[in-house]
């Protein structure tokens, strides 16, 4: 059996096992490959990852809070992972751990159109924000970055580019990407984030990486105003598809993955 996993803490809520196992079945690989969730505390990550190839693992996705540590422990890094400073995809072969980042391209793949030339606002300064800023700049967008803790936004922009902003201009952005945790526990995005519900309109795109069983309040309001909306599940599907292609060399069945991730 070729094994795959998602490593996180907590990880029980992850939709990745259902999504990847459905994809493996669709590809006719269900008897040969399997994907599981493994909860690892930060101090267990490195020794467990080192042991995984010996346990039959071919690769793993890495999620909160391990994306930075995954990069540090890897033997080889893709250029994307190195530049972003975070990894969400590990591959194990010949005793080596290779780290890659598919969050960046996954975000771009989830957008309805290329962000080239667009004014973009990214909210947050964690690992997901790093991937978003890197991807949007590389694609030719102009990126403003806001974070609750301004110093973190300044540091991120000093490293990756983009412009830290204290007060984003309402209605000025063709693309808004929320990478903060706001909304995860029902917080009001219009109270916690520098966004105005009246600032959204047709012609804009709003991405919210937060996902749950129902559309986030941010996406509900933006969609109501006519903006194109992309939720966290679509981004999860797109990054997962790229990881699966890295491990299997096969093209990932997007619709099957979407259906399984949304259940
Ligand atoms: P990840 O790696 O998933 O991006 P992270 O490093 O834990 O996660 O970052 C979480 C982000 O959510 C941060 O940008 C955090 O802001 P701070 O840097 O100021 O902590 C943001 N965040 C969490 N709760 C928030 C809230 N109530 N209001 C605004 N931002 C919030």
pTM of the model: 0.96
Which residues have a Cβ under 8 Å from the Cβ of 202 and sit 6 or more positions away? 225, 226, 227
Catalytic member of 15, 66, 67, 238: 67
Question: 196 C-alpha vs ligand 1 centroid, how far in Å?
Answer: 19
User: How high is the pLDDT of residue 60?
Assistant: 98
pLDDT, tens digit (0-9, with 9 covering 90-100), for 42-86: 999 999 999 999 999 999 999 999 999 999 999 999 999 999 999
Burial of 54 (0-12, 13-18, 19+ CB in 10 A): exposed
Residue ranges lining ligand 1, Cβ < 6 Å: 64, 124-129, 147-149, 152, 179-182, 187, 192
Q: What is the DSSP letter of 54?
A: G
Q: What is the mean pLDDT of the chain?
A: 97
Q: What is the DSSP letter of 55?
A: G
Residue closest via CA to ligand 1's atom 11 equals 180
pLDDT, tens digit (0-9, with 9 covering 90-100), for 76-121: 999 999 999 999 999 999 999 999 999 999 999 999 999 999 999 9
β-bridge pairing 163-164 and 89-93: unpaired
pLDDT classification of 214: cutoffs 50, 70, 90: confident
Question: 186 C-alpha vs ligand 1 centroid, how far in Å?
Answer: 14
């Amino acid at each position: 059996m070729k094994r795959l996993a998602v490593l996180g803490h907590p990880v029980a809520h992850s939709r990745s096992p259902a999504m990847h196992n459905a994809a493996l079945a669709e590809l006719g690989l269900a008897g040969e490959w399997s994907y599981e969730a493994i909860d690892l505390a930060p101090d267990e990550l490195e020794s467990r990852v080192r042991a995984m190839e010996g346990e039959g693992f071919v690769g793993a996705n890495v999620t909160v809070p391990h994306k930075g540590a995954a990069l540090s422990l890897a033997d080889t890094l893709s250029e994307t992972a190195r530049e972003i400073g975070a990894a969400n995809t590990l591959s194990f072969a010949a005793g080596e751990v290779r780290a890659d980042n598919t969050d960046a391209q996954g975000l771009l793949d989830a957008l309805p159109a290329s962000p080239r030339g667009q004014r973009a606002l990214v909210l947050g300064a964690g690992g997901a924000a790093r991937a978003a800023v890197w991807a949007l700049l590389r694609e030719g967008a102009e990126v403003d970055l806001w974070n609750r803790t301004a110093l973190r936004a300044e540091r991120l922009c000093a490293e990756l580019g983009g412009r830290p902003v204290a007060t984003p201009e309402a209605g000025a952005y063709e693309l808004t990407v929320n990478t903060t945790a706001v909304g995860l526990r029902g917080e009001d995005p219009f109270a916690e984030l520098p966004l105005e519900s009246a600032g959204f309109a047709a012609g804009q795109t709003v991405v919210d990486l937060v996902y749950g069983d129902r559309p986030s309040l941010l996406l509900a309001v933006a969609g109501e105003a006519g903006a194109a909306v992309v939720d966290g599940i679509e981004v999860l599907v797109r990054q997962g598809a790229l990881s699966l292609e890295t491990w299997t060399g096969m093209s990932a069945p997007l619709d099957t993955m979407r259906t399984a991730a949304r259940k």
